[in-house]
């Protein structure tokens, strides 16, 4: 008896079309069930539905679940309406049909293609069909892109959500109308920036004046079912920068902001502002083109890269975070030092005391603590390797015994199932009795296989921990790290994250250790603080 999984898929484009009932999920499921009703050896086990999923890639939730169920023996057969439901990408579809499913001994039924893998091998006609589906996908992608660009060239604003400061017209399709309240906030942001105020100060001012951020305003004031999370509900530098570089505020519609190397890829490359194709005067402007250009000149002059004077990244970039709010730490400038003296919480720096308390650490103190903990951690790693290897040696006999017992149980059930089948053929057992026994043995074996997989995973994890620690030691066991040797290469090699707390204590998370060491605990233990 085959345990069948019904796989169904429909794209967003097909979803939105009228009269596409033949491709609907309901129709696909019913077609598969009608097919199974005519067979005597197929039992429906599970239905997998990717609703609104593209056929251009196979990173779909239900498709991946189906592959997982195949691995665990939940299903041994896959049924779908036609090959295009499985996927429209030629190479990957052929891989699953011609290699993956046969290797897993999975029977495949494509109803409308009259294809049954149990009756024959993967043939050339199916390959041609997948190639045609791929061509259809490419053609569809091109048509959608062309349609959107045509609408934009006619001055239509096609994205679902209008930018802050505008609302969609209720009378003219895809036309933007000015929202007086939000538009005035946009003008205020541009005026402040032109007058020398940075994004941080602008954010702080808007928050102090209790101006709702764009997401909160759209959700709470406009009541337009805004789908984005409002997050903290406050203005951020990211939101302000987005407003300052949005050409839509000049009354223009941007035809293309991004470009994709291939219709099969989700990756998009941003097109530089000066290279964007525009349709001017598509709607009422909030900001004049002259004001916008002036702001862009100011923005270029204010950009400060995260690099030092030698054009190398600051060594803690991407590693240092506030322990209270988890925001990235930023370098702090002090006029008394005539330069930067250390790092402080980025959220406090942007928003002030009301949002996160003052959290600051000097360069010298940070380096001192990090070096101490690194050297202590490297010393600990040597002990960890010895302890882990000892544990593995002690546990191995018990682990081997458990694995052997599970394998014996699996083999025993396979033998019992074989005997039950022989008794069924000899009419000692009825069909119902045989199927009940068969199901029981298969269920038990699935359980044993899962336990066996968990044991093997446990053994592999232990050995991986030993191997990772040894790798780290091979890099750093020849020398003791000093402050002078603490460069970005060492930090990136060893450390995943560093959390700094207001009392200047640290939590350091290492890449090559199963332990997560708190610097304050380590220092206290050793009598340093």
CATH assignment of the domain containing 84:
3.40.50.1390
Give the CATH number of the domain where residue 213 resides.
Answer: 3.90.1750.20
pLDDT the model gives residue 172: 86
**Same domain as 209, residue 137:** no
As a whole number, mean pLDDT of residues 173-184 equals 90
pLDDT the model gives residue 33: 92
Last residue of a domain, one of 265, 280, 302: 302
308 lies in some domain: no
Query: Tokens for 478?
Result: 């020849």
**Same domain as 355, residue 406:** yes
**222 burial level (CB within 10 Å; 0-12, 13-18, 19+):** middle
Lowest-confidence segment of 99-108, 294-303, 508-517 by average pLDDT: 508-517
Torsion of CA 20, 26, 32, 33, to 10 degrees: -140
pLDDT the model gives residue 7: 93
In the chain, the number of structural domains is 3
153 lies in some domain: no
CA separation, residue 520 to residues 69, 85, 186, 241, 252 (Å): 46, 57, 46, 38, 55
402 lies in some domain: yes
Yes or no: say if 384 and 515 are a contact pair by the CB < 8 Å rule: yes
Alpha-carbon distance 437 to 415, whole Å? 12
CA separation, residue 524 to residues 28, 46, 320, 373, 514 (Å): 65, 56, 22, 12, 21
As a whole number, mean pLDDT of residues 162-182 equals 89
Q: How much is the pTM?
A: 0.39
As a whole number, mean pLDDT of residues 467-481 equals 59
Quick check: 177 pLDDT over 60?
yes
pLDDT the model gives residue 333: 60
The residue length of the chain stands at 529
150 lies in some domain: no
pLDDT the model gives residue 85: 81
Last residue of a domain, one of 302, 327, 357: 302
- Ordered DSSP codes for 261-325: S-TT----EEPPGGG--EETTSS--SS-HHHHHHHHHHHHHH---SB-TTS-B-TTTTTEEETTT
Domain span at residue 487 reads 316-529
Rounded to the nearest 10 degrees, what angle do helices 431-476 and 363-425 cross at?
160
């Amino acid at each position: 008896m085959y345990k069948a999984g019904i796989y169904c898929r429909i794209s967003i484009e097909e979803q939105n079309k009228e009269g596409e009932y033949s491709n609907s999920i309901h129709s696909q499921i019913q077609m598969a069930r009608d097919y199974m009703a005519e067979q005597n050896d197929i039992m429906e086990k599970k239905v997998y539905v990717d609703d609104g999923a593209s056929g251009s890639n196979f990173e779909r939730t239900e498709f991946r679940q189906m592959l997982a169920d195949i691995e665990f023996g939940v299903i041994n057969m896959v049924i779908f309406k036609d090959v295009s439901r499985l996927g429209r990408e030629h190479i990957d579809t052929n891989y699953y049909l011609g290699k993956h499913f046969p290797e897993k001994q999975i029977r495949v039924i494509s109803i409308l293609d009259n294809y049954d893998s149990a009756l024959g091998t993967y043939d050339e006609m199916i390959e041609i069909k997948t190639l045609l589906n791929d061509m259809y996908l490419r053609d569809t992608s091109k048509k959608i892109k062309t349609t959107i660009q045509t609408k934009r060239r006619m001055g239509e604003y096609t994205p679902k959500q209008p930018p802050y400061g505008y609302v969609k017209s209720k009378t003219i399709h895809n036309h933007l109308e000015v929202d007086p309240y939000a538009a005035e906030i946009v003008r205020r942001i541009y005026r402040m920036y032109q007058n020398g105020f940075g994004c941080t100060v602008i954010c702080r001012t808007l928050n102090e004046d209790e101006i709702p951020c764009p997401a909160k305003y759209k959700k709470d004031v406009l009541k337009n079912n805004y789908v984005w999370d409002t997050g903290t509900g406050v203005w951020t530098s990211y939101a302000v920068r987005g407003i300052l570089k949005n050409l839509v505020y000049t009354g223009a519609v941007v035809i293309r902001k991004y470009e994709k190397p291939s219709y099969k890829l989700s990756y998009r490359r941003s097109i530089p502002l000066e290279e964007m194709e525009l349709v001017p005067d598509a709607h009422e402007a909030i900001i004049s083109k002259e004001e916008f250009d002036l702001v862009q000149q100011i923005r270029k002059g204010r950009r400060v890269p995260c690099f030092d004077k030698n054009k190398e990244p600051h060594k803690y970039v991407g590693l240092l975070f506030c322990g209270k709010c988890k925001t990235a730490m930023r370098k702090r400038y002090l006029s008394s030092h005539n330069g930067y003296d250390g790092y402080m919480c980025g959220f406090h720096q942007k928003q002030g005391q009301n949002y996160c308390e003052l959290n600051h650490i000097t360069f010298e103190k940070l380096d001192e603590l990090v070096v101490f903990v690194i050297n202590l951690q490297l010393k600990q790693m040597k002990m960890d390797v010895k302890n882990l290897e000892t544990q593995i040696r002690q546990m191995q006999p018990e682990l081997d015994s458990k694995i052997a017992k599970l394998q014996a149980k699996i083999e025993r059930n396979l033998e019992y199932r074989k005997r039950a089948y022989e008794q069924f053929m000899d009419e000692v057992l009825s069909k119902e009795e045989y199927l009940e026994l068969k199901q029981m043995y298969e269920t038990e074996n699935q359980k044993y296989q899962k336990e066996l997989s968990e044991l093997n995973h446990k053994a592999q994890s232990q050995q991986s921990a030993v191997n990772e620690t040894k790798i780290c030691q091979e890099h750093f066991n020849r020398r003791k790290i000093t402050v002078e040797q603490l460069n970005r290469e060492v930090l990136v090699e060893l450390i995943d994250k560093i959390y700094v707390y207001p009392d200047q204590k640290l939590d350091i998370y290492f890449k090559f250790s199963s332990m997560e060491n708190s610097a304050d605990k380590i220092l206290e233990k050793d009598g340093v603080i």
